[in-house]
Amino acid sequence: MKIVGLSSTTNPYIQARWSAFTLENPSYDVFHIEFGKVSNVYAWKPVDFKAPYKRVILSKEASQYESIFKLLRLIWRLFNTLEKVKPDILILNGYQQPATLAALFWSKLHKKPVVLLSESKEDDAPRKWMLEHIKKKLVSTYESALVGGDKHKDYLCKLGMTEGAIFLGHNVIGNEDYHPKKLAKLSCPPDTKKPYFLAINRFIPKKNISTIIEAYAEYRKNSSHDPWDLILCGDGELRADIALKIKELNLDDSVHLTGFLQPMSLLPYFAHASCFVHASIQEQWGLVVNEAMAAGLPVIVSNRCGCFDELVVEGKTGFGFDPSKVSELANLMLKVGSSDFDINTMKKLVLEHIDNFGPRLFAYGLHQAVQYALFQKT
């Protein structure tokens, strides 16, 4: 059975998921098609590795199409690849990119079943009736789906997909790459003092970094003992605004900006952090929370994140908060950073819980979705 998955590019998450799916299902002949070799969102270096599946890269450029000519050329390459491979089933990531819709058209033309990988939930953004109507038409063309959690499942059901056709396990990472035992030998990052709160984001509005800084300032003001530092990894359009806010709140000596770091360069920060903070006001999932928990870190996570209901067990793996309320985050920082908080016990619970959200969950869930889709077509 030939199975073809498609995505914009390959990143460490996709590599871990599709490797697990291939190894856990040896009867499948698995292909993964990447529209571009680099991402137009993240400045990740191209991923070169020996994959257990067959990897096809359609372009050395980013997956964003700067002109109609480049888009048509990409679709032509995509159709040629699909005609050569002759897949029995397609796995498509979302339904928004033109090349993905082209692959969906190809599947219907050739009467091949399609599985949808989706991480959208209803409260991601204000919903407009006309766009939702179009989405319902698109969703109806998929035989099954793999999603991250119950909120993502509920949204697909609202768009018309049968509940029994939706399976869980999409939003996972390669947990073993972040395990504390693997990170134990990494040196503490330069210019940092332990312990510290860690946040990793693109510096864009929805990541709500200003709230983290304001809450941290309140935490320092009210802490009864030597307060932790705060490390902000990332870069983006708000870099200057963030630096200015740090200066205005007199936090230059305790808040550290690292700039953008490649995944391997982030590992020392995970290794030596004491707690991870994620404050997004809008987040379909938040895979960086998976990474932090795989490194054994307790997490303080915005309740707007798609991962919140699945990964945050209140008081056991971490805590949730309203990202519009600075005081809630500040109080949680005080709680976790206090001398009487049993952080070591929480770290053990974190590792136990995140172990349920590894690549094998993706492999099992996608296998279920594939079998369901094939059954629907027979």
Helix (H) or strand (E) holding 258: strand 255-259
Question: Rounded to 5, what percent of the chain is helix, strand, coil?
Answer: 45, 15, 40
pTM of the model: 0.93
d(CA 101, CA 90): 12
How far is residue 308 from each of residues 158, 185, 290, 301, measured CA to CA in Å? 21, 30, 10, 7
pLDDT of residue 64: 55
d(CA 211, CA 326): 6
pLDDT of residue 52: 96
pLDDT tens figures, 157-166: 999 999 999 9
d(CA 241, CA 235): 11
pLDDT of residue 96: 82
Longest Cα–Cα distance in the chain: 67
Q: 374: number of CA atoms within 13 Å, CB side?
A: 13
Q: What is the percentage of the chain residues whose pLDDT exceeds 90?
A: 84
Four-CA torsion 11, 126, 278, 48, nearest 10 degrees: 0
pLDDT of residue 97: 87
pLDDT of residue 43: 67
Backbone angles phi, psi at 377, to 5 degrees: -85, -15
pLDDT of residue 62: 61
Q: 9: number of CA atoms within 13 Å, CB side?
A: 21
Nearest to 33 by CA among 68, 1, 57: 57
Per-residue pLDDT in tens (0 to 9) along the chain, 378 residues:
999 999 988 888 999 999 999 999 999 999 999 998 766 666 667 667 789 999 999 987 765 555 677 888 899 999 999 999 999 999 999 888 899 999 999 999 999 999 999 999 998 888 899 999 999 999 999 999 999 999 999 999 999 999 999 999 999 999 999 999 999 999 999 878 789 999 999 999 999 999 999 999 999 999 988 999 999 999 999 999 999 999 999 999 999 999 999 999 999 999 999 999 999 999 999 999 999 999 999 999 999 999 999 999 999 999 999 999 999 999 999 999 998 999 999 999 999 999 999 999 999 999 999 999 998 765
**What domains can be seen in the chain, in order of their start residue?**
2-172+358-377 (3.40.50.2000), 176-354 (3.40.50.2000)
Nearest to 279 by CA among 311, 243, 319: 319
Four-CA torsion 245, 249, 251, 257, nearest 10 degrees: -10
